[in-house]
Structures are given as structure tokens and as C-alpha cells.
Chains A and B, each alone.
Chain A
Amino acid sequence: MHPAFSVIFLTTLLGAGQGLFLAIFTGQLYSVARFLPTQDDQFYALGSLVALVLLVVGLGASFFHLGRPERAWRSAAMWRTSWLSREVILLPILMLFVFAYGVAHWMEWTQPWFRIGEVLNVDATLIFGLLGTIASFALFVATAMIYASVKFLQEWHSTFTVANFTLLGMASGFMLAAAYSAYIGNPLVAFFGTWAVLLTLGALVSRVAHLRRNARLKHKSTVQTAIGVRHTAVVQKAQGAMGGSFNTREFFHGRSDSTVRLVRNSFLILVFPVPILLISAAYLIESTSLPILAFVIQYLGLIAERWYFFAEAKHPQNLYYQSVA
């Protein structure tokens, strides 16, 4: 498949935004449980504002993928059958909850609405945070299922796709939370950093397992089933067009094997070991800039990861477009 940067930015920015919101709310839950010191409300409000900005920019990137962006509102119609439609509905719902969560903290609407047991005071921030968490995970699933549900792209048609999108998004979000805490000099950087390392390690396991699965993949379609001729030697001599077509532009990445391998090796280094080493070093030397660098490098690596995700997938229609003339 041809990697489109609009979709690469859409999925990586949404992942980081969802992850950051989950990180911020996790921090609040820990402080509610008194595992962490309580932060002032501005910390949560600013954090969710950054998450909201990422979600908005990601949404903006998605419009560049559309031929007719002015009709984008129509895309919520077929939510019964289309994961793309479900994503289109879930994204604004998540934005709404993240916005409400941030506003509730900013306005300090922390008067408890009701109380569970003796200790748990449920206020507006907790409710919006919980709703946002559910929406975040639902959006991870919807985004990933857009790809995982296309059975013809066997590289994508796997549970690993959903696991990777979720774990990589959360890892980059927690990494960003660590960077954000480091930037404003908040001591929670170690807490977010630890989670970022754990999530990055989890994503590493899932992503490498996905790569290994795809390396062993046997494609169902062959040129024999494509044209229905039973012979071992079937070679295309003409594809009906000399200057290419939509079929040659959309479904081929047009890069050499060595380039694709280079991108794969780059993301394996940039997404996993480098950020882990940087955030660990930041913890040891109490640096406030290294966590920011760790997030930036991991995000660049995720762009390469998503590029490779597209380039790796081989569409069966390519069997009809093997030779120009």
C-alpha cells in the first residue's frame, strides 16, 4: 500500500493525544488513591488541553486524505457496518469529554457530586475522566479496526494491529506526559516515565510478534486465482494502461526493498530502545530536557512505524498490475 502522510499523522497524533489523556487521568486516579501527591487542577487542565490540541491536529490531518473534505459530515452515516464511520463518531465524542475534563479542572468544579463508601469523592473531573477513558479505548479499537477489518490485506487482518495501535499510542502519550511534567518541573515525571517504559516494552513485544507473523504470512491470492488459469507460469504482459492508473498509485509504495528495510530498522530503534534509554538517563541525572527529547524521537519513530505498516501490506489487486507493457 502507498503510505499517505495524512493517515500517518492522523493515527500517530490521535494515538499520542489519547495516550496523553489516559496518562493525565491515570495520574489523577493515583492521587485519588493517595499513591501520588495531589496536583493542582491547572496541571490536569493544561495536560488535557495539549491532548485536545493533538486530537484536533490529527483530525485536521485526516481531511487531507479526503477527495471531498466538504462532505466529511456524511461519513458518520454507516456506523452499523463501517469502522471508519465509528471512528468518525468516536473522535468528537472523545474530544468533548477531554474538553469537559479540562474545563472541569480549570474551573475547579471539584465539589463531590456523590460519595462512594467513606473515601471516594466522585466529582465532575472523575466522571468526565472515566467517560474519556472509555472513549479513548473505543477510539483505539475503531481506528485500528479500520485496517484490521480489511481481510484482503492479510498483513493488517490481525489482532496485533489493534494491540499495536493501542500500546504504541499509549506509550507515546505517557512519554509525552513525562515530557510535559519535566517541562513544567513537576515531580510526576518519574511516574509517567515508568509507565511509558512499561508500555513501550509491551508495544515492543506486540510489534515484533506482528512483524514475525507477517514474515511468515502466506498470501491467499495468486496470479492463478486472479485470472483463473491453472498453470505454474503466468506472467503479465500488459495492464491495459501505459502511464499507470489509480491502481498503481494507491497500492504500491514505489520504494526499493532496501528503503523499506531501512525504515523498519529505523523505527525499531527510534520507537523502542532510544526513548527507554533517554527516559532512564533522565531519571538518573534528573534532566528536564531528556524526557522531551525521548518523546520527540519516539514520535518520529512512530511516523516511520506507521509508514512501514502501510508499505508492508500487499494488496491482492497488485496481482493485476505487475507489468506495464
Chain B
Amino acid sequence: MTQLALVIDLNVCVGCHACVTSCKEWNTSGWAGPLVDQNPYDGSPTGTFFNRVQTFEVGVFPNTETVHFPKSCLHCEEPPCVPVCPTGASHKRADNGIVLVDYDKCIGCKYCSWACPYGARELDEQEKVMKKCTLCIDRITDATLSDRDRQPACVLACPTSARLYGDVHDPDSEVSVAIRERGGYQLMPEWGTKPANHYLPRRTTRLYISPDELMRVDNPLRKEDLTNYTGEETLDDVAW
């Protein structure tokens, strides 16, 4: 079975928010839209987003590290938001594992948002229905697009290729290899939601050199007999 998902590389994300604006632009004008804003050019601007980039500081000054953390629906394999929905608007697609909301069935009761530990769902204040990342279902299923364009808008926008997209159930896909070989992990594994999206950890490249790598243990110079002889009979005296 196919399970489409994103793998987000925190090691190369620079926190530019290009995925956020690209996501908003595509989805506010397409099938899932509009993603309505309130006070967009005024005090306290707020609105509906599928994807947000947050920033965390790890460590204590001066030993700190800034982690930019893109956050969107993780398309859980055991989505807790789906069974609680009273209308069936919230569902997980059988063919590709994407968790979606049917905006024509949603009654805006917000119960699914309570049942998501990640805060991935946002109620649209004007449309009054629950909205969330669709993994750009209208792009990736559009057979008229080229292979290059049949990817989520956030993935296409990322300037550092921090966002990988593919089938995490196919062991040979780019995303599965990245998860397997680069330490991909899931958020809040304690809840058993099995998020399909994975994150690749921050990595610092360090070169560890131990002293015995610099000094050759079996150096022949130090294997030679360096005794100072003072006239006694040596091997040289008899073996020539």
C-alpha cells in the first residue's frame, strides 16, 4: 500500500518560509481554498495555514543552536483525528494514505483538532470548516502535470531541498532511503500515531582523531635496537 509523505531535513532547513508562502499561494487559489486571513495588513494578522515554520533554540548561550522546524500535517498511519469525526468528513485515503477533510461535510465542531496532538488542523474563521495540509492532492494526482511538477508546492519551493516527498512504504524510494540511512525519526512517538512524515536530525560534522591514528604503533624506527654498546661482544662481531 502506498503512503505518501514528506521527509524534512532539519540539517539543511534555513527557515526561509518559502514552503509556507508557496503552500499558501497554491492552496488558497485551488481546490482547498480559500485559506482566509484576518487583518492581513493590520495589527495582529492571523489566518489559516497548512504549513508553518517554527524556530527553536537548543542549548544555553553561548553554546546554542537554532533549529528551524517546518510543521504541517504528518499524515499519520494511525490518524487519531479520523475516528472521532462525527460526520466522516475527516478521512484517510485508501489509495495513497493522505489524511483529508471533505469541506462539504465538515460541520466545524473542532473535535478532530482536539484529537490531534500536533496541532496540525486549523479552523478557517471564514469558511468555518477544519482545514489541513492536503499534501497538494490536486497537484500530485493531476496526470496532466509533468513528473517534476507532480509534487507538493512546498517541496518545489524549498531552495535547500530540505523537503523530500515520496512513498514511505516503498523501501527503495528516496524518502525511505533517507529515513533509513540518515536517522529519520517521527514526532511524539509516545502516542502511537505513527506519523508518515519523518524528520532528519541536525548533524554536526566532526572529525575524531585519536593519538594512535597520528602515531604509528608498529613504527619500525621504534622497533630497532637502539642500545648503546660499550665494547662488549655483539652479534656484529661474530656474524660478518
Write the residues of chain A forming the contact surface with B, with a CB cutoff of 8 angstroms. 1, 65-69, 71-72, 74-78, 81-85, 88, 146, 149-153, 220-221, 223, 225-229, 231, 233-247, 250-251, 315-318, 320-321
Q: How many Å lie between the Cα of A66 and that of B85 in the bound state?
A: 13
Quote the shortest CB–CB distance from A166 to chain B (angstroms).
21
Write the residues of chain B forming the contact surface with A, with a CB cutoff of 8 angstroms. 17, 20, 39, 43-49, 52-60, 66-67, 69, 71, 80, 82-89, 105-111, 113-119, 121-123, 125, 127-129, 185-191, 199, 201-202
Q: How many Å lie between the Cα of A321 and that of B118 in the bound state?
A: 10
Quote the shortest CB–CB distance from A233 to chain B (angstroms).
5
Q: Which residue of B lies closest to A228 (CB)?
A: B185
Q: Which residue of B lies closest to A246 (CB)?
A: B122
Q: Which residues of B contact A238 (CB under 8 A)?
A: 54-55
Please determine whether A243 and B56 come into contact, CB atoms closer than 8 angstroms: no
Of A67, A77, A220, A221, the contact of B109 (CB 8 Å cutoff): A67
17 contacts between A and B (CB under 8 A): A67-B108, A67-B110, A74-B107, A75-B87, A77-B86, A78-B87, A153-B114, A221-B191, A225-B187, A227-B67, A227-B69, A228-B199, A241-B49, A243-B43, A244-B46, A246-B122, A317-B118
Please determine whether A78 and B88 come into contact, CB atoms closer than 8 angstroms: yes
Q: Which residue of A lies closest to B61 (CB)?
A: A233
A-B residue pair count with CB separations less than 8 angstroms: 179
Q: Which residues of B contact A221 (CB under 8 A)?
A: 117, 188, 190-191
Quote the shortest CB–CB distance from B68 to chain A (angstroms).
9
Please determine whether A151 and B191 come into contact, CB atoms closer than 8 angstroms: yes
Please determine whether B56 and A235 come into contact, CB atoms closer than 8 angstroms: yes
Q: Which residues of A contact B115 (CB under 8 A)?
A: 150, 152
Quote the shortest CB–CB distance from A273 to chain B (angstroms).
33
Of A74, A85, A152, the contact of B105 (CB 8 Å cutoff): A74
Q: How many Å lie between the Cα of A182 and that of B39 in the bound state?
A: 54
A247 with B119: in contact, given A68-B108, A234-B56 (CB under 8 Å)? yes
Of B20, B44, B121, B185, the contact of A240 (CB 8 Å cutoff): B20
A233 with B58: in contact, given A226-B188, A228-B201 (CB under 8 Å)? yes
Q: How many Å lie between the Cα of A229 and that of B54 in the bound state?
A: 14
Please determine whether B86 and A67 come into contact, CB atoms closer than 8 angstroms: no
Q: How many Å lie between the Cα of A245 and that of B88 in the bound state?
A: 25
Of B67, B69, B107, B121, the contact of A75 (CB 8 Å cutoff): B107
Quote the shortest CB–CB distance from B69 to chain A (angstroms).
5
Of B45, B83, B105, B107, the contact of A243 (CB 8 Å cutoff): B45
Please determine whether A321 and B106 come into contact, CB atoms closer than 8 angstroms: no
Q: How many Å lie between the Cα of A111 and that of B61 in the bound state?
A: 84
Q: Which residues of A contact B85 (CB under 8 A)?
A: 78, 82
Most buried by A among B47, B56, B80, B199: B56
